[in-house]
Amino acid sequence: MSEDRLARELTPAALEATYPDAEPDQLAHTETVPAAAAETVPPGDVLPDGLADALDHDLYSHQAAALERLRDGENVTVATSTSSGKTLVYALYYALLKRRDPDARALFCYPTKALSADQERALNDLFRDLGVDASAETYDGDTKAERKPLIRANRDVVVTNFSGVNHYLSNHAKWRDVYANTDLVVIDESHTYTGVHGMHVSWVLRRLRRILDHYGSTPQFVCTSATIGNPGEHSEALVGHEFGVVERDGSPRGRRDIAFWLPRRDDDEGGKSGVGGGRGNGGGGTGVGAGDAPTDADAPTARKRAGAEAASVAGHLGLSGVQTLAFLRSRQGTEIAAKRAREAARDHPLDARLDAKPYHAGLSKQKRRAVENTLKSGRADAVFTTSALELGIDVGGVDATVLAGYPGTRQSFWQQIGRAGRGTSDALSVFVPRRDAIDRYILDDPDYLLGDEIEDAVVDVSNNHVYARHVRCAAEELPLTAADATWFGPRERLERAVSVWRDAGEFVGDLERGAQYDGRPRPQASISLYATTDVEYEVRRVDGDIDMEPIGRERAYRDYHPGALVLYDGEQYEVVDLVEDRHRPYVELERVRTNEYTTTAHEKRIHDVEATRSRDLGGGYSLHAGTGTVEIDYTQYRRHDIGDGTVEGPYPIDLPPIELRTHLTWVELPADMERRVIDALGPDALLDADGAPATDAGWTFAGGLHGAEHGMIKLAPLELRLDNSDMGGLSTPMHAETGAPTWFIHDAVEGGVGFAHSIYDHFEGVAAKTRERVARCDCADPTGCPSCLMSAQCGNDNEPLHRGATTAVLDAVLSRLDAAGDGSESEGSHARDA
């Protein structure tokens, strides 16, 4: 083994050859993304002389294309790769506007405060280099009170975020000079605004546009986005304007190798996998909290955790002189991995000290800045980060990236991979899969990552709960009149919102004369940009502090009932209390160390089902999107010991049922579906109903419906950018309202968020991928495993599930879809607003 081989030859083969004690099958797959040359345009082609001369380089073709369209007056979405120079597009365009009108001002909105601070510096440097007389300054929750009036009065570019804008709109009179002169609004990293958050941001943007309009401004908008499936549609939904899309990337890149790298076998742990226990979704959001999903304990092949292997690979690369950025799933995970990598370096044959540091939003600003600087200057060996470094913070280039698990979307995957590569030099990325269904799918089918298809970002504005609360803010900002249907229409919807608040005692007046807010001060403060209702449960600790966003009622009942074990930031907690008979309800956690996790059982009913769109597939098959009432009663929970597999309980949960009026998508099947599925399976494949109130055939068929429901929810993120912990399902061989065997997929938030409906829109793709994963899973068990059918969120103990029946059900629906084509859709009243 040549010690510096990796530094000379940054390839998967070199990694395999130099990795200490590599096992023969660890390098499971390799992909190569070939180098691409830059496509450039002389700046003089699109910029006037003064500006063009100030630039000492050509523009990439996408920058030039975007500038051209902006100069034509369009709103533009630039959806190109990481580090392709998207900031330059809007900074140059602002410089152009400023030359035309010295009073021109702009609002640049970033998704995180860290990014704002980073971009403020970059923008001011750029303005200085270009000789543009303009300055940018950050105005957010961290800005000192005495700076604020100065920024409002003097700064050309106000750098902020949407949580801030939500609040500042209330004081628009103080912002008059900014709003009256705003010619450009930039929404950076716009792909991050999806789901519940995206829906809030889209209403904040409509409120902003309304106030801008009030002050006589009709600015242009620039969205910059990672590569997503629907950049134009997404920007239009978000902002409510038409957008031109620039997505042909003219930036150069070096050759990039991707190694699919399996964790080492873990003989010591057998099937136990060393997972801390708790629920996979315990962190209050996907990707937060849990390392490997705990249900991996049952996975067929026992390998080390992805996080541990990633630490070891990143450490090896760092020691070999390859500056490496490793992406972990939790803050705690980054700390543990950095520590582990340093420790492992001591036993490493290269026998050198490893400079390995963690990076996440929980660190102080100074610490984060220091790590960013060591990366920029190339002095770091390995940095272990959460997705915090996935967005555009400038860290220069690193030689290699390591991904501990699939980050949930192709767009994130490429964004993280894209962090590797300095300029046009070659780069290596190492993907270490976990053992959940999606990582498995990708391992089976690496082409999935490399195809042209990227997930659609979902923004849906049909949720009335969120809508009504933003209308309330708008009325506080300026009286609402009929003309405001432009922003909050259609008129009928706005009328109803005004009337709901008037009858609630919070509005006075009407749309004819102006509807005014008359409630307690600052309704903006009651809006959380991450939840659909304003009932939020604060998360507290009885024995210390915990830095966690408040959670909604649904999640509180499901995952934070007393007795539940919760994994957050790598630490385990037990919920000791859920207190809700007060203005600010809360849950209280206590730190515990146990080798257990809990599962929660619930009973669910779906009723008052109304279809707004349907596709009749013929032969008794049909597909529907609409709304319904989901009633969930969390009844009991069990404690599972990871070590010996023992289960204690059930213990009762003393909470009332939750009722959600929300979005649904469902599939109705022909009445004789059970017979067809059972005929296809043959008598030997049947499950034993074993005391369940069903025949073996009925139980097996139910396992197919249940499996299709589970599988589609698990695998939907392969097609759509959504958070599947905000979704749920129900399957039944006979539903009282549909009168047929049915499986439902529903949004798990009040009012809906568009997820279930987007599955309706992408049904075929999601169903096909689910079918493929279930059929190909290498688990020997006909009832499936966590890599195909089992779900940590199942309220029914993952029973019944049946792989064969699931594929049979999905095959039948897919062949119907194929035969029906696209012409089968009939519209009820389409629920979404354009």
Partner 1 sequence: MEASVTLAVYPAAALGALTDRALRESLASLDPDAVLAERPRDGARLDAVAGDARVLRAARLDTGVVAGDSGPQLACVSTPRGLGTLRGHEERGDLDAASETYVLSDALAVDVDLTALETTLDGRAAYEDALREAALDGSYTHLTTNADPGYRNDWDGLAVAGVWPGASETSATPSARLAAVSLYGDGTVASETYDPGRFGLRGLDGVGPTRAATLREAGYETKAAVAASDPGDLQACEGLGATTERTIRYSAKARREGVAYRTSAERLPGNDPVFIDIETDGLSPTMIWLIGVYDSRTEAYRSFLATDPEAKGRAVAAFAEWYATHACDRPLVAYNGERFDFPHLDEHIERYCPEHADAWRDAWTFDLLWWASTRDNAVLPGTTNALGDVAAALGWEDANTGLSGAVVGQRFRRWLANPSRATELDWERHERYCEDDVRALAYVYEAVRDADPVPGVAHSDGPRESAATTTTQGTLGDFG
Could you say whether residue 607 binds partner 1 (CB under 8 A)?
A: no
The CA-CA-CA angle for residues 223, 87, 121, to 5°, reads: 125
How many chain residues are in contact with partner 1, going by CB under 8 A?
45
Is residue 506 near partner 1 by the rule CB under 8 A?
yes
**Mask 52-91, x = binds partner 1 (CB under 8 A)?**
----------------------------------------
Identity of residue 459 = V
Kindly state the smallest distance separating residue 185's Cβ from partner 1, in Å: 22
Q: Single out the residue of 565, 729, 694 nearest to residue 637, CA to CA.
A: 565
Please identify which residue in 37, 145, 173, 780 interacts with partner 1, judged by CB under 8 A: 173
Question: Which residue among 477, 571, 761, 772 contacts partner 1 (CB under 8 A)?
Answer: 477
Q: Return the range that interacts with partner 1 (CB under 8 A); candidates 44-52, 188-196, 466-474, 710-718.
A: 466-474
How many residues are given for the chain?
834
Tokens of 623: 């597909």
Give the span between the Cα atoms of 319 and 342, in whole angstroms: 10
User: What mask, x for binding partner 1 by CB under 8 A, covers residues 553 to 582?
Assistant: -----------------------------x
CB atoms closer than 10 angstroms to residue 596:
21
End-to-end CA distance of the chain: 61
Of the ranges 95-103, 495-503, 672-680, 683-691, which one interacts with partner 1 (CB under 8 A)? 495-503
115, 117, 766, 770, 786 from 711: Cα distances, Å? 36, 41, 9, 6, 10
User: Is residue 478 a contact residue for partner 1 (CB under 8 A)?
Assistant: yes
Contact 717, 736 (CB under 8 A): no
Residue 446 or 479 with smaller CB distance to partner 1: 479
| Pair 103, 111: CB distance under 8 Å | no
Identify the residue among 8, 176, 365, 369 touching partner 1 (CB under 8 A): 176
**Alpha carbon distance 359, 326 (integer Å):** 10
In the stretch 446-465, what mask flags binding to partner 1 with x, by CB under 8 A? -----------------xxx
Residues 690-707 as b/e (b if ≥16 CB within 10 A, e otherwise) read eeeebeebbbbbbbbbbb
Q: How far is the CB of 522 from partner 1 (least distance, A)?
A: 10
Helices (DSSP H) in 516-623: which residue ranges?
553-559
> Based on CB atoms, which residue is closest to partner 1, 367 or 502?
502
Q: How far is the CB of 178 from partner 1 (least distance, A)?
A: 14
Closest distance of CB 461 from partner 1, Å:
14
Please, which of residues 582-601 interact with partner 1 by CB under 8 A? 582-583
Does residue 217 belong to the site contacting partner 1 (CB under 8 A)?
Answer: no
Least gap, CB of 285 to partner 1 (angstroms)? 23
Pairing mode of beta strands 551-552, 536-541: antiparallel
Is 476 near partner 1 (CB under 8 A)? Answer: yes
Helix (H) or strand (E) holding 703: helix 696-715
- CB within 8 A of 41, min separation 6: which ones? 58, 59, 60, 61, 63, 64, 250
Distance between CA 338 and CA 419 in Å, rounded?
A: 19
Q: Give 629 or 796: the residue with its C-beta nearer to partner 1.
A: 629
C-beta separation of 737 from 744 below 8 A: no
Name the segment binding partner 1 (CB under 8 A); options: 235-243, 381-389, 436-444, 514-522.
Answer: 514-522
Q: Does 479 bind partner 1 (CB under 8 A)?
A: yes
Select from 516, 594, 636, 824 the one that contacts partner 1 (CB under 8 A): 516
Q: Does 500 bind partner 1 (CB under 8 A)?
A: yes
CB of 175 to partner 1, least distance (A): 11
763-776 and 437-444 helices, crossing angle to 10°: 80
Q: Which of 245, 427, 442, 468 binds partner 1 (CB under 8 A)?
A: 468
Q: Is 148 in the site for partner 1 (CB under 8 A)?
A: no
**493 near partner 1, judged by CB under 8 A:** yes
C-alpha–C-alpha distance, residues 284 and 296, integer Å: 19
The structure tokens listed for 161 are 């975020």
Query: How does strand 256-261 pair with strand 324-327?
Result: unpaired
For residue 650, is the peptide bond before it cis, meaning its omega torsion is within 30 degrees of 0?
yes
Question: What x-and-dash track marks residues 644-683 binding partner 1 by CB under 8 A?
Answer: -----------------x----------------------
Per-residue contact string for residues 745-764; x = within reach of partner 1 by CB under 8 A: -----xx-------------
Q: Which of 99, 502, 605, 832 binds partner 1 (CB under 8 A)?
A: 502
Within 320-446, residue ranges assigned H as helices are: 331-347, 365-376, 410-417, 437-444
CA distance 753 to 749: 7
Q: Which is nearer to partner 1, 230 or 464 (CB)?
A: 464
342 scored as a contact of partner 1 (CB under 8 A):
no
Token pair belonging to 157: 């570019």
Site for partner 1 contains 146 (CB under 8 A)? no
Binding mask 518-557 for partner 1 (x = CB under 8 A): xxx--x--x------xx-----------------------
- Give the Cα separation of 360 and 358 in Å (integer): 7
Contact 448, 224 (CB under 8 A): no
> Measured between alpha carbons, how far is 100 from 85 in angstroms, rounded to an integer?
24
152 lines the binding site for partner 1 (CB under 8 A):
no
Q: How far is the CB of 604 from partner 1 (least distance, A)?
A: 18
Q: Which is nearer to partner 1, 124 or 499 (CB)?
A: 499
Interatomic CA distance for residues 158 and 272, integer angstroms? 52
User: Applying CB under 8 A, which residues contact partner 1?
Assistant: 171, 173-174, 176, 463-465, 468-469, 472, 475-479, 493, 496-497, 499-506, 508-510, 513-514, 516-520, 523, 526, 533-534, 582-583, 661, 750-751
